[in-house]
Amino acid sequence: MKNLLRQLTQIPAPSGYEHQIRDFIQSTVAEHADEVRTDALGNLIVRKGSGGKRIMLAAHMDEIGVMVAHIDENGFARFAPIGGVRPAYCLGGRVRFLDGHIGVINAERTPDPAKTPSLDQMFIDLGSPNPGVQVGDVAAFDRSFEDLGERVVSKALDDRIGVAVLIETLRRLKSTPHEVYFVFSAQEEVGVRGATTAAFHIAPDVGIAVDVTGWGDTPKVPPMVDVALGKGPAIKIRDRGMLADPRVIAWMTETAEKNGIPYQREVLLSGSTDARAIQLSRAGVPAGTISIPCRYVHSPSEMVDMRDAEGAVALLVALLGEEVPF
Ligand code: CO
Ligand code: ZN
């Protein structure tokens, strides 16, 4: 799974511009799928199995990034954020445009050098007065994938780790009594937009998102996040956008215990996932999330523990192989 993850993280796919990664995922999943299609918003929808319950799994393909809003005569671009871009993580960073063009982010001199400049005070240095970049072009943050052993570091682990978990689950799922939809969703980072239309179309009986969550195991972080790297996938109880369905939580925790899969219980104070869109689709859908603990979310050096991802795959394969108990 590590090698797949390395490839997935290095493809730039800011929200709304997921075509490169969608093509890559499509070529990877084709041989394992009963049906593959792409919808109008750019979601890649992969079906396996038929009969039983209609189960929708979702992991988002898109990542945070920037969009050029203005370029001055010296080739300095001002930009708008795509998704939850944090100023402190931008300074000194690099961005990669879809055609491979690289820019570096820096900032105007400000009166108080100790303060992090706002995004308005930053610019992308395109390295030339005629950079071949125009207003409206989009770029993703650029940083290499590094293998630290059990842990890996990269940009865009939010949510390429979820994409890798879904692909690996599809590969390992020999048979299922259900009609399972693996949705590689678009535009999650700008407000779960892809999952909204995909859930309406699929009309699932149950929905499960796979996404990253916060962490509580670095120096002086708020102790409210009772989640650590390497202790297993986290079963979400709530986040800011969703109260996970208690029946789904019970199904997940009981299946994990039955199969000896270590897991954590997650109460997240901020953020949300595609499961929110699924839960609120049509007349409502029982939904939950399997989370991969991830440090420094939305920075160019996010960190996850591969054992948590392996646990998430094992849990999904177990869930999809049995009857849904509600
Ligand atoms: Co995110
Ligand atoms: Zn995410």
| Selected catalytic residue, list 18, 188, 189, 266 | 188
Tell me what the mean pLDDT of segment 155-159 comes to: 98
**pLDDT at position 280 over 80:** yes
Q: Over 80: is that where the pLDDT of 52 sits? A: yes
Span 111-127, pLDDT tens digits: 787 899 999 999 999 99
Q: Give me ligand 2 centre to Cα 132, in Å.
A: 31
Name which CATH class applies to 65-141.
mainly beta
- Decide if pLDDT at 223 tops 80: no
Ligand nearest to the CA of 275: 2
Question: What is the domain class of 2-63+145-320 according to CATH?
Answer: alpha beta
- The alpha carbon of 9 and the centre of ligand 1 are apart by a number of angstroms equal to 13
Q: Calculate how far, in angstroms, residue 68's C-alpha sits from the geometric centre of ligand 2.
A: 23
Residue 291 CA: which ligand is closest? 2
| pLDDT the model gives residue 278 | 98
Q: For the chain, which residues make up each domain, given as ranges?
A: 2-63+145-320, 65-141
Proximal ligand: closest to the CA of 163: 2
CA 190 to centroid of ligand 1, rounded, Å: 9
Tell me what percent of the residues of the chain surpass a pLDDT of 90: 94
Q: What pLDDT was estimated at residue 112?
A: 85
Structure confidence at residue 255 as a pLDDT band (50, 70, 90): very high
* Residue 131 pLDDT grade (very low, low, confident, very high; cuts 50, 70, 90): confident
**Per-chain mean pLDDT for the chain:** 96
How close is the Cα of 130 to the center of ligand 2, in Å?
35
Is 18 part of the annotated catalytic residue set?
no
SS (H, E, C) the chain: CHHHHHHHHCCCCECCCCHHHHHHHHHHHHHHCCEEEECCCCCEEEEECCCCCEEEEEEECCECEEEEEEECCCCEEEEEEECCCCHHHHCCCEEEECCCCEEEEEECCCCCCCCCCCHHHEEEECCCCCCCCCCCCEEEECCCCEECCCEEEECCHHHHHHHHHHHHHHHHCCCCCCEEEEEEECCCCCCCHHHHHHHHHHCCCEEEEEEEECCCCCCCCCCCCCCCCCCCCEEEEECCCCECCHHHHHHHHHHHHHCCCCCEEEECCCCCCHHHHHHCCCCCCCEEEEEEECECCCCCCEEEEHHHHHHHHHHHHHHHHCCCCC
Q: Does residue 185 surpass a pLDDT of 90?
A: yes
Please say if the pLDDT value at position 13 is more than 70: yes
**Residue with more model confidence, 91 or 131:** 91
Please give the pLDDT value at position 229.
97
